[in-house]
Amino acid sequence: MQYRQVQTIDGKGALRGIAVDSRGQLYAAGDSEIKLFDAAGRLKQRWPTSRPALAVAVARDGAVYAGEMGQIEIFDGAGKLLRTWRDETLLGRVTAIGFSKDSVLAGDAADRAIRRFDGSGEFLNNIGKDNPVNGLLIPNGVVDFAVARNGAIYAANPGKHRVEWYTPGGELLGHIGRFDGIDPAGFTGCCNPTNVAVRDGIYTTEKAGPRVKAYDFSGNLLAVIATHPFNPNCKNMSIAVDSHNRVYVVDTEKLAIFVFEPVTTV
Amino acid sequence: MSQDLTRRTVLAVLAGGAVFLVKKANGQIVWQVNAARCINSRLGEVGVEACNLCTTECVVALSAVRAVNEYSKCGRCNICPAYFNITSAVNELGQPSEKLCPRDAIARKPIGKVDPEDPANNFYEYIIDEEKCDGCGKCVMKCKEPLGLGSITLRVRYDKCVNCNRCSISRACPQNALVQLPVGQAS
């Protein structure tokens, strides 16, 4: 399978996390704001967050969740603040947010774990913490995960060169990935992949050098989506996939989002 | 008036120089590697070969410059690009089969609660043997961001340095990374 770059979106500032909603709108967290781009990549709206925004996710009801240091801010689709969940311990540094059935998941990089909350913000359980190293191995300082349609939580575990998947209750179900500095099917460097997305497959980004790949759920490499045009100093490149399997990837140095789509052969 | 000012300026410069020489003679001025200038540790320099002028130019045998790992910054990774040659073939343990350091000056040991079944499930400490290290900078280049965390840098070891008036490494360094600092400002 091959991909081609079809779009470059000016990120209008720092880009820590991105998300795509069901209408193809793109949300970006960075600096102390959330930016909303329409499907054509035009900046439609931006609104401030009370602390630097590190992650963003859109719930089924259209609410926009912003991950920050010590808190999650919840906005309506127009950027009006609805609620703030504040917990300096459980939400130390929220670098990813997702939804699994009725629960809200937050990646807490400060404690190297994924926190699961109910819809009202009550803590339920940790994910990825019950192991000998007491959490995900993230020398890069970011917990990133994505939720599959079946509710499984796919987490990047870069120090192990794996993507692991868990039940919402925190049980480890399996993993793909291995270290390899030569074979592109493996993950290279000290700690890759740093970021992950899930739709019809598993999508990953790596740092040093920047690389975007797609795997099937058995861990077979489907495609090296791109190694260019990223700045070689990029790291923690947030990734999202829309309903048309277009892949959105952040360049943290060029402050841009590159969009790739599968090339269909006739 | 302007002559007086010029005289005062000259006297001030001479006095400053005298103070500098006295401090240097007393060992209060030392040479140091500025990590933000050194091409091996400077951020943004990727895809270039490590510079080994600290090894080849120092008048001290084996060089007075050594690699130092600052543990508080180290990721304690299973696959450390400063320890392993990460582009070598993968062995049966799932690790690179070759080490990076040409003098085998870095030791690796698991720390904390050790999982013997899965090497990826452990933290590792990387200890640099300064008696073997010659400051070639290869590990420094591989440790810096974005590949690593930048915990390894080159430092002048003052017990080895003979504190030349004009450090021969500083003369050769195209980055002017060797600088003189008062002891109190040196790391």
Domain ranges for chain A, please list them.
3-262
Residues of B in contact with A132 (CB under 8 A): 112-115, 121-122
**Interface probe, candidates B88, B90, B91, B141, chain A, greatest A C-beta count within 10 A:** B90
The DSSP code sequence of B94-105 is: SSBSSBS-TT--
Sequence-separated contacts (24+) of B85-94 with Cβ below 8 Å: B86/A181, B86/A188, B86/A189, B86/B142, B87/A181, B87/A182, B88/A181, B89/A182, B90/A178, B90/A179, B90/A180, B90/A181, B90/A182, B90/A183, B90/A186, B93/B119, B94/A178, B94/A179, B94/B119, B94/B120
- Dist. CA A148–CA A129, nearest whole Å: 20
Residues B152, B137: contact at Cβ < 8 Å? no
The DSSP code sequence of B120-138 is: GGSEEEEEE-TTT-----H
- Dist. CA A137–CA A156, nearest whole Å: 9
pLDDT at A110: 98
Number of structural domains (chain B) is 1
A124 reaches B (C-beta below 8 A): no
pLDDT at B16: 65
Q: How many CB atoms lie within 10 A of CB A145?
A: 29
Alpha carbon A224 to its chain's center: 18
Q: Scanning every residue of chain A, which has its alpha carbon at the shortest distance from the alpha carbon of B114?
A: A132
- Dist. CA A258–CA A9, nearest whole Å: 6
What is the dihedral sign for C-alpha A32, A38, A43, A47? negative
Q: Which domain holds residue B84?
A: 2-185
- Dist. CA A167–CA A46, nearest whole Å: 34
DSSP state of A170: -
Q: Is A97 helix (H, G, I), strand (E, B) or coil?
A: strand
pLDDT at B6: 73
Residue type, A133: V
Could you tell me if residue B135 is left (phi over 0), alpha (psi between -120 and 50 degrees) or otherwise beta? left
- What HEC string does A33-64 produce? EEEEECCCCCEEEEEECCCCCCEEEECCCCCE
Question: What's the residue count for chain B?
Answer: 187
pLDDT at B5: 62
Residue with tokens 């951020």: B43
pLDDT at B117: 86
A159 reaches B (C-beta below 8 A): yes
pLDDT at B113: 85
Of A177, A160, A188, nearest to A217 (Cα)?
A: A177
**Interface probe, candidates B147, B149, B152, chain A, greatest A C-beta count within 10 A:** B147
Per-residue pLDDT of chain B (187 residues; tens, 9 = 90+): 556 667 777 777 676 666 555 555 565 899 999 999 999 999 988 889 999 999 999 999 999 999 999 999 999 999 999 999 999 999 999 999 999 999 999 999 999 888 888 889 999 999 999 999 999 999 999 999 999 999 999 999 999 999 999 999 999 999 999 999 998 887 6
CATH architecture under which domain A3-262 falls: 6 Propeller (2.120)
Q: What are phi and psi of B36, to 5 degrees?
A: -75, -15
pLDDT at B187: 65
Residues of A in contact with B89 (CB under 8 A): 182
pLDDT at B7: 76
pTM: 0.92
Per-residue pLDDT of chain A (266 residues; tens, 9 = 90+): 899 999 999 999 999 999 999 999 999 999 999 999 999 999 999 999 999 999 999 999 999 999 999 999 999 999 999 999 999 999 999 999 999 989 999 999 999 999 999 999 999 999 999 988 999 999 999 999 999 999 999 999 999 999 999 999 999 999 999 999 999 999 999 999 999 999 999 999 999 999 999 999 999 999 999 999 999 999 999 999 999 999 999 999 999 999 999 998 66
